[in-house]
Amino acid sequence: MPQIIVHMSETPDQGAKSMLVKEIRQAISKTLGLDIIIGQVILYESPVTNRETHADRDPKFVLVEVFMYPGRDPALKEELMERVFTLIKRHTDIDRKDIHGVIHEISKENYFGGMMKLH
């Protein structure tokens, strides 16, 4: 924890996608002050034909979901999202207005996996 899931349309540049997830993972560590071994990033792709939005938005919009423990300062959460959005913009042709994000705060008792013991 934390984990970031990036939902985006298919992009042909595998090198850019690999660099994007690597840089997002580094941003987690740097922004939240965590050891580099903590945190995961997943990039999910779906074809534009399987996406729908209103007419003035790009169907190649991006949705970023961040799962983290609660209690972090709102300014720190905003900084993390801004860094992630900037990286997505840098590695894709998606306009900033078409990148959206949500933070899910998950209590420790509701997270299982990794080094956590299951009770």
How far is Cα 22 from Cα 72, in angstroms, rounded to an integer?
A: 23
pLDDT at 115: 63
> What CATH number does residue 97 fall under?
3.30.429.10
One digit per residue, the tens of pLDDT, for the chain of length 119 reads 899 999 999 877 889 999 999 999 999 999 999 998 889 999 999 988 888 888 888 888 999 999 999 999 999 999 999 999 999 999 988 999 999 999 999 998 888 876 655 55
In a domain, residue 118? The reply is no
In a domain, residue 115? The reply is no
Domains held by the chain: number: 1
pLDDT at 1: 83
> If you compute the radius of gyration of the chain from its CA atoms, what whole number of angstroms results?
15
Domain of 36, in residue numbers: 3-110
- Say how many CA atoms lie within 13 Å of 117 toward its Cβ: 1
Q: What angle do CA 31, 16, 41 make, to 5 degrees?
A: 40
pLDDT at 21: 96
In a domain, residue 58? The reply is yes
pLDDT at 59: 87
